[in-house]
Amino acid sequence: MSILTNPQLWAGTLSLATPLALPAIGGTFSERTGVVNIAMEGIMLIGAFFAVSFSYWTGSPWLGLLAAMAAGALIAWIFAWAAIRLASNQVVLGMAVNIFGAGITAFLLNTIFGYNGTPPSTASLPTITIPAIKSIPVLGWFFYQQNVLVYLMLVLVMASHWLLFHTRLGLRMRAVGENPLAADTLGLNVWRLRYTGVIIGGVLSAIGGAYLSIGILNSFDVNMTDGRGYIALAAMIFGKWTPFGSLGAALLFGFASSLSTALQGNAIPTDLIAMLPYALTVLALAGVIGKSVAPAADGIPYKLDR
């Protein structure tokens, strides 16, 4: 029981959910407009790398975050161009971005910073404590010593929900993801809306990567995302392509990771505990929480006959 009352378990849950929730919502934006996006892992790595580099070069982690977002937007734009304009296979493209992201960041790390890795003096984003939240029982545990990006993530979840489900733009984005022909007939620009969805997704995934590199740490290492982009993919599906659902799924996966950390050394085999988040993912995808239905036109390129 003492494990459950250790604030670190809950702080860890939220901290580990953040780099899953951001790319999961990023993927949601992309797929809601009808572009299958499995490129979160690669975009996260690119975001993580550019965040550290620019934080080091400019001395400002905020500029690092901006650079990560710009890099994420750029790579997402290239992805969108190939997926939408060239109508390439989106799953293959996503995989290509992932392999490209892993390769280019490893190459740039070695070329720019050498084999000594990123400098330890790199500035990272601040950790903040809001006294009003801290004093609330239980909820305060979650917010014990969290990075500023954790708060930003929560704001982005709400903003994304509002954008997707309570604005005209959101309705149009969802429309081109469900029935692009009908949307086109009504005069919506299908391609532009899809570009918007994919690029917003790229920016959010890159913020997730920046959280890993200059949020909780201040360094970059090859493949430091450790498959989180793929878990985020599961969180997106588990969360039924909604921002709040993605956050919920991310929190569940974060809790499983945090619990496996806390349980280690308590006579339970560590390998078994380390499996917990992945076992939960399988259970989730097997339909334990009901059926997840993708947007109807997800993954189908839309051809313009003009």
Residues that bind other proteins (CB under 8 A): 6-9, 11-12, 15-16, 19, 82-83, 86-89, 92-93, 96-97, 99-100, 102-104, 106-107, 109-111, 113, 115-118, 120, 127, 145, 212, 216-219, 221-224, 226, 257-258, 261-262, 264-265, 270-271, 274, 301, 303
Nearer to other proteins, 167 or 270 (CB): 270
Contact 71, 206 (CB under 8 A): yes
Rounded CA gap, 142 and 146, in Å? Answer: 8
Nearer to other proteins, 140 or 245 (CB): 140
H runs (alpha helix) in 1-147: 7-32, 40-58, 61-80, 90-108, 131-134, 139-142
**Closest by Cα among 275, 222, 212 to 19:** 212
Contact 202, 79 (CB under 8 A): yes
Rounded CA gap, 202 and 204, in Å? Answer: 5
Rounded CA gap, 59 and 73, in Å? Answer: 22
Nearest approach, Cβ of 124 to other proteins (angstroms)?
A: 9
Nearest approach, Cβ of 18 to other proteins (angstroms)?
A: 10
Rounded CA gap, 25 and 11, in Å? Answer: 21
Nearer to other proteins, 92 or 130 (CB): 92
Q: How far is CA 109 from CA 20, 45, 114, 223, in A?
A: 24, 11, 7, 11
Nearer to other proteins, 135 or 266 (CB): 266
Nearest approach, Cβ of 226 to other proteins (angstroms)?
A: 4
Give the chain's radius of gyration (CA, Å).
19
Q: Under 8 Å CB-to-CB from 297, ≥6 apart: which residues?
A: 34, 176, 177, 178, 179, 180
Nearest approach, Cβ of 63 to other proteins (angstroms)?
A: 21
Contact 194, 34 (CB under 8 A): yes
Nearest approach, Cβ of 246 to other proteins (angstroms)?
A: 19
Q: What is the DSSP letter of 218?
A: S
Nearer to other proteins, 187 or 266 (CB): 266
Q: What is the DSSP letter of 187?
A: T
Nearest approach, Cβ of 136 to other proteins (angstroms)?
A: 19
Nearest approach, Cβ of 228 to other proteins (angstroms)?
A: 8
Nearer to other proteins, 115 or 290 (CB): 115
Locate 27 and state its tokens. Answer: 């993927």
Nearer to other proteins, 111 or 135 (CB): 111
Nearer to other proteins, 74 or 262 (CB): 262
Hey, which residues does 127 pair with through a beta bridge? 147
Nearest approach, Cβ of 165 to other proteins (angstroms)?
A: 31
